[in-house]
Amino acid sequence: MNEAGDIEREDSLTRVEAFSDGVLAIIITIMVLELKTPIQESLSALWALWPIFIAYVLSYAYVAIYWVNHHRLLGHARVVTSGLLWSNMLLLFTLSLIPFSTAYLGEHHFGREATLLYLVTMIAPALAYILLQSRVAATGAKTVASRRYHKASHRKGLAAAAIYALGIPLTLLSPWLGVACAALVAGFWMLPWSAMDRLFLDRIPPAGS
């Protein structure tokens, strides 16, 4: 370690990513275990499970999005600091709440209270990810590509948190409006590079200017 307490072993980032991958895999496993097969053998019995399945698909997409972005983010990290470690643990904690809110959402058929809980559960990791990214940006690579990535991703993350927050009052009007906000966020994170992504970019001057 140096005087700032930064961990500079070459395998440190690999360990952080491997641990995070394991936690995310467990989260997905817990969610899929909530997909209980019906006792009765009929299409109507299967159809009755649609709220649970839709909630699972939506949450699976979110966990996948966080895994992809977490992988990309750590690619710009260069040193493991206490701030990075603890902000990463905070992110994993907030993500670990997703199986509970997913099960609650599905079991209560996208009711108002269940949808509100789900949106709050989505806001928490969004804010935690912004904190983690700020730690990586402060101590990671300083290339033009990294600076463009951080700026665009940070702005996109703030937009996602704002849409989740907007979904809370909309849920009071109709739970499906809140679910639509959640689905919208998943959509613009999962789409390939598009004009929407360019909205979060601007021209970044070379380092040192």
Kindly indicate the confidence band of residue 192, based on its pLDDT and cuts at 50, 70 and 90: low
Instruction: Supply the mean pLDDT for the chain.
Output: 86
Is 153 within the bounds of a domain? Answer: yes
Q: Quote the number of domains for the chain.
A: 1
Taking the C-alpha atoms of residue 73 and residue 186, their distance in angstroms, rounded to an integer, is 18
Range of 120's domain? 12-198
pLDDT tens for 173-185 read 999 999 999 999 9
**Predicted pLDDT at 194:** 52
**Predicted pLDDT at 8:** 60
Is 203 within the bounds of a domain? Answer: no
Phi-psi group of 80: left, alpha or beta (phi > 0 → left; psi -120 to 50 → alpha; rest → beta): beta
Taking the C-alpha atoms of residue 180 and residue 54, their distance in angstroms, rounded to an integer, is 12
Is 1 within the bounds of a domain? Answer: no
Kindly indicate the confidence band of residue 35, based on its pLDDT and cuts at 50, 70 and 90: confident
What is the H or E stretch that residue 120 is in? helix 112-139
Is 7 within the bounds of a domain? Answer: no
What tokens appear for 16 in the block? 């952080």
Query: What predicted TM-score, i.e. pTM, was given to this entire model?
Result: 0.85
**Predicted pLDDT at 106:** 92
Taking the C-alpha atoms of residue 109 and residue 107, their distance in angstroms, rounded to an integer, is 6
Residues 120-147, mean pLDDT to the nearest whole number: 93
Is 3 within the bounds of a domain? Answer: no
Judge whether residue 57 has pLDDT over 60.
yes
CA distances (Å), origin 168, targets 68, 80, 108, 160: 26, 36, 17, 13
Is 6 within the bounds of a domain? Answer: no
Share of the chain above pLDDT 90, in %: 61
Kindly indicate the confidence band of residue 207, based on its pLDDT and cuts at 50, 70 and 90: very low
User: On the CB side of 71, how many CA atoms lie within 13 Å of its CA?
Assistant: 10
Kindly indicate the confidence band of residue 90, based on its pLDDT and cuts at 50, 70 and 90: very high
Q: Find out whether 186 and 201 touch, Cβ atoms under 8 Å.
A: no
Judge whether residue 202 has pLDDT over 80.
no
Judge whether residue 196 has pLDDT over 80.
no
SS3 at position 80: strand
Taking the C-alpha atoms of residue 5 and residue 101, their distance in angstroms, rounded to an integer, is 37
Is 207 within the bounds of a domain? Answer: no
Kindly indicate the confidence band of residue 110, based on its pLDDT and cuts at 50, 70 and 90: very high
Of 196, 201, 192, 191, the residue nearest 153 (C-alpha):
201
**Predicted pLDDT at 62:** 94
Helices (H), 140-200: 144-173, 175-190, 195-198
Is 156 within the bounds of a domain? Answer: yes
